[in-house]
Structure 1
Amino acid sequence: MPITAMLDVHFAADHLADGPAMFAEILKDTRNFAGCLRVDLLADLDDPAHYVAYEVWESNEHDLAYRAWRQGEGATQLRDVLDRDPVLTKFETAVQS
């Protein structure tokens, strides 16, 4: 069953220009990872530091494999440009329209 993962991040004030560009570049690898169905980078209209990666995965197992890869070989420097820890929330579809 597909799942949706949302990674909520806040960029440090001195990384408002380069941080989102770095995140967009990182998400290219996410899109190409096995089981990734979709990735969008959402920008908060009221807060230029706040972004959310909206990811749809074929299954929770695919997402878990991706997260494990990001902890090892696929690690990035994203945390270096954030002002707090990112928050990952996963969802399953409760009602489909």
Structure 2
Amino acid sequence: MPAIVHFEVQFKPEHVTDAAKYLAETLAATRAWPGNQGIEALVDDADPCHILVVETWATTQDHDDYAAWRATPEGRSALHEVLAAQPSKQVYSTTLPLGL
């Protein structure tokens, strides 16, 4: 099963109008990373500063390799400069059989 990653960010209000620009610049490297199968950014209807980035990865290891690169000086982006809080991340790679 592919790994689905939810990456939640909260932009500072003064930067929300530039959110698409910041995310496009940052996520270009994400899209290009081996194993990335898709990515989209969803804006919270109740709070436009709250954005959920949904990433699909071929494997959890592909995402783990990408995340390790992001923790290096070469992989660091400027996104942290415009966020109001630390981002949160959840990785989903196991499903429950629902018998539907």
Q: Give unmatched runs, 5+ long, in structure 2.
A: none
After TM superposition, the structure 1 = structure 2 runs for residues 6-25 of structure 1, keeping only pairs within 5 Å, are 6-25=6-25
Counterpart code for 1:85: Q
Count of matched residue positions in the alignment of Structure 1 and Structure 2: 97
CA contact (8 A) 1:24 1:41 kept: no
* Moved beyond 6 Å, runs of 4+: none
Let me know the Cα RMSD of the aligned residues. Answer: 1.6
Q: CA deviation at 1:25?
A: 2.1
Question: With structure 2 as the length reference, what TM-score do the two structures score?
Answer: 0.88
SS at match of 2:19: helix
Q: 1:93: Cα distance to partner?
A: 4.3
Match of 2:45 in 1: 45
Alpha-carbon contact 2:60-2:93 (below 8 Å) kept: no
Q: TM-score, normalised by structure 1?
A: 0.91
Corresponding letter in the other structure for 1:37: Q
Asked if the contact 1:40–1:54 (Cα under 8 Å) also holds between the matched residues in 2, the reply is yes
Stretches of structure 1 lacking an aligned partner (at least 5 in a row): none
- Which residues in structure 2 correspond to 1:1-97 (within 5 Å)? 1-72=1-72, 73-95=74-96
